Amino acid sequence: MPAVTLTLPANPDLAEIIARRDAELDELKAALAKSCAALEDAQKTVSGLQTYTATFERVVERSYNGVPLSKLFPQGEKLGWRGYVEWEDNPERKRVATEILDTKKFTPIPEFQFVPLPKTNPVLIGHRWKEYHVALGLKSIVDFSWETVLKEKPGMIHLLDFPYNGETPRSELIRSKITDNEWHFVRNHGGIPDLDEDAFELEIGGLVNTPAKVSMKDLKDPTKFPQAEVTVTLQCSGTRRIEQIQLYPGDGDELINAPWGEGAIGTAVYRGVPLKKVLKIACGGILPEAKHLEFIGADTYFKKNNVYNYAVSVPWRKVRQNEEVLLAWEMNGKPLPKIHGYPLRVVVTGYIGARSAKWVYKINALAEPSMGPVQAAEYLYYNQQVVSSSSAATSRSHHRR
Ligand SMILES: Nc1nc2c(c(=O)[nH]1)N[C@H]1C(S)=C(S)[C@@H](COP(=O)(O)O)O[C@H]1N2
Ligand SMILES: [Mo]
């Protein structure tokens, strides 16, 4: 075969094209070199972050004195009860928790009282409370709480993301007499427990004739307990705190005081059983020396490095009014939302919201009001006339209800 010689037509632009390609090639090489350097930098950053994470994980201990935190502060003691740690029955557990918290430094609470509030939603971020939970290996509670907020309360004014405090926007507040579950305000002091109704039982003890355990199935059975439906306006004593803060900022309480406007108030129809009936039918009544009923909630409550379950009480003379103190599982015809106390909460008419304990799993009949800090130190009513400190009356000048 004869060799074929291809003769390209003379192209005056060819040299120029080749030169341009060469220049482009040089540019690409330079860009590649740059990318390689950037990649190297990124790899350094990643390995730096890995070291940081490792350090962080060492700082955020998973164990204490060799015992895993999940053993020290277990959430799985009762099957189907998540996000709940029993503190009140475990003084040793409380002591260890305090010991751990005492060794840590936490983010100070924001001094929002002294600066204009951010225009963000959530307005405030509860760094400190999240860190308390993380320090005890309870971060899953923080995560579950926010997931629940996004599911059950997406449109609220999120005053504080954790513990969750959500205010009803004014347009929803005035829409009708009853506020929809989705818009009813929320005031939490801790995380939201995740409890299965089928596994849930209410324990009643203290100064009763017969201590008892009642399942939700029995409690909801109208042939066993007479039901009542009550329309209740709950108001948190913090409502309109933003105005109070402007007059007197306070001197920095331990808990972040959510800057409530007028929306920490809401009305709903609750269905349940009067507590009086439950005490009578399940426990054969209370003993004569019982003067107060204490409610324990499944959430974890922090106060000055001490750990508790939420605890409050109301006097027997209130409970005796029958429908004024209700054990409720239904809100506006729907199952109680998780954020409002599912599967069971107390609803007390005519008292501050704080007495209406959510996620109530234990009731104790007591001779004195609850010693829980919410009852004994935080939500107090003072007489109109606060007498001078020299007066003998001062020591009992406040009353709890
Ligand atoms: N277990 C538990 N119950 C609780 C609280 C809480 O933090 N934990 N907050 C109380 C307070 S201060 C108020 S005002 C009401 C608010 O009820 P809501 O969130 O269903 O509106 O719940 C009360 N019951
Ligand atoms: Mo409250």
Cα 136 to middle of ligand 1, angstroms: 23
| Range 18-44 average pLDDT | 87
Report the chain's mean pLDDT, rounded to a whole number. 88
Q: Does the CB atom of residue 232 touch ligand 1 within 6 A?
A: no
- Residue 71 Cα to ligand 2 midpoint, Å, equals 32
pLDDT class of 204 with cuts at 50, 70, 90: very high
Among the ranges given (110-124, 128-142, 211-225, 386-400), the one the predictor scored with the smallest mean pLDDT: 386-400
- Determine the residue of 158, 160, 173, 188 to mutate for testing ligand 1's pocket, defined as the one with the most ligand atoms within 8 A of the Cβ atom: 188
Render pLDDT for 124-166 as a digit per residue (tens, 0 to 9).
999 999 999 999 999 999 999 999 999 999 999 999 999 999 9
Residue 392: pLDDT band with limits 50, 70, 90 = very low
Mean pLDDT is lowest, of 89-93, 108-112, 154-158, for: 108-112
**DSSP class of 8:** P
Q: Residue 185's closest CA among 244, 242, 258?
A: 258
Residue having the nearest C-alpha atom to atom 21 of ligand 1: 186
Q: Which ligand is nearest to the CA of 234?
A: 1
Instruction: Write the pLDDT tens digit of every residue in 272-317.
Output: 999 999 999 999 999 999 999 999 999 999 999 999 999 999 999 9
Query: Confidence band (pLDDT; 50, 70, 90) for 378?
Result: confident
In this structure, of 23-37, 46-60, 100-114, 194-208, the range with the lowest mean pLDDT score is: 46-60
The answer on pLDDT for 169 being more than 50 is yes
pLDDT of res. 152: 98
Give the pLDDT band of residue 2 (cuts 50, 70, 90). Answer: low
pTM over 0.85: no
Point out which residues pair with 335 in neighbouring strands: 330
Longest dimension (CA), the chain: 127
pLDDT > 70? residue 385: no
Q: Mean pLDDT throughout 45-53?
A: 67
Atom of ligand 1 nearest to the CA of 186: 19
pLDDT of residue 37: 86
Please tell me the distance from the alpha carbon of residue 46 to that of residue 41, in angstroms, as a whole number: 9
How far apart are the CA of 236 and the centre of ligand 1, in A? 8
Contact 153 CB / ligand 1 (< 6 Å): no
User: Rounded to 5 degrees, what angle do the CA atoms 48, 52, 55 make?
Assistant: 140
Q: Collect all residues with Cβ–Cβ distance below 8 Å to 165 and sequence separation of at least 6.
A: 158, 159, 186, 187, 188, 258, 260
Contact of 249 with 112, CB cutoff 8 Å: no
For residue 235, the ligand 1 atom closest to its alpha carbon is 14
CA 218, CA 201: separation in Å to the nearest integer? 10
Parallel, antiparallel, or unpaired: how do β-strands 306-315 and 381-382 relate?
A: unpaired
For the chain, which domains are there?
Answer: 81-382+389-395 (3.90.420.10)
Higher pLDDT, 207 or 110: 207
Q: Which amino acid is at 205?
A: G
Query: Which SS3 state, helix, strand or coil, does residue 231 take?
Result: strand
Average pLDDT over every residue of 323-334? 98
CA 288 – ligand 2 centroid, Å: 31
pLDDT at 395: 39
